Amino acid sequence: MLPEKMNEAMNEQVAKEFYAEYLYLSMAVEFAEKSLDGFANWFFKQAEEEHEHAMKFIEFILERGGKVVVPAIPKPNFEAKEYIDYFKAALEHEKYVTNSINGLMNLAIELKDHASKSLLQWFVDEQVEEEDSVGTIVDHLELIGDSRNGIFMLDRELGKRE
């Protein structure tokens, strides 16, 4: 049986993962409107991943006899003028999610909830990857600066994400 405190915390995490999905979806749409289809592709894929994260928690809660609360998702809130701003906002959001996952892990340790620890270890590792991949794109955009050529090449690169 899933401890009640963990159940509640995981439901909050489900809402955060769906919010991330919406955030990346709205970023993807803005890039698609600018015909930067590679950037759009990267954010569409990122949104799909966030959906999978939410589902992973939902399936786990159900498997352990918990109660899932399907959340209302607020409208994504971000400010971006330059291309790099989108990725900086994404990186900030991933850092926020990492903190949240670490909080869940702390709770699992406190509750001696080994099954949740095992699930959460996957998310701890996943967050390392998430921050690294977004951080690399931020670095590349800093190098590219105002180069249109560079943006065009990065767009083609990000279009390859599957």
Q: Closer to Mg ion by CB, 7 or 127: give it.
A: 127
Q: How far apart are CB 80 and Mg ion at their closest, in Å?
A: 20
Which positions from 48 through 107 interact with Mg ion, judged by CB under 5 A? 50, 53
Kindly write out the interface string for residues 14-53 of this chain, putting x where it contacts Mg ion by CB under 5 A and - elsewhere. ---x--------------------------------x--x
- Smallest distance from Mg ion to CB 20, Å: 5
Query: At closest approach, how far in Å is the CB of 57 from Mg ion?
Result: 10
Residue count at the site for Mg ion (CB under 5 A)? 3
Instruction: Kindly give, in sequence order, each residue whose CB lies less than 8 Å from that of residue 22, ignoring residues fewer than 6 positions away.
Output: 47, 73, 75, 76
Which residue pairs from 31-39 have beta carbons closer than 8 angstroms and sit at least 24 positions apart in sequence? 31/86, 36/83, 36/151, 36/155, 37/155, 37/159, 38/154, 38/155, 38/156, 38/157, 38/158, 38/159, 38/160, 39/83, 39/86, 39/154, 39/155, 39/158
**Residue 21 beta carbon to Mg ion: minimum distance, rounded to whole angstroms:** 8
Which position's Cβ is nearest Mg ion? Answer: 53
Q: Which is nearer to Mg ion, 7 or 46 (CB)?
A: 46
**Using CA atoms, how far apart are residues 145 and 130, in angstroms rounded to an integer?**
23
Q: Rule CB under 5 A: which residues touch Mg ion?
A: 17, 50, 53
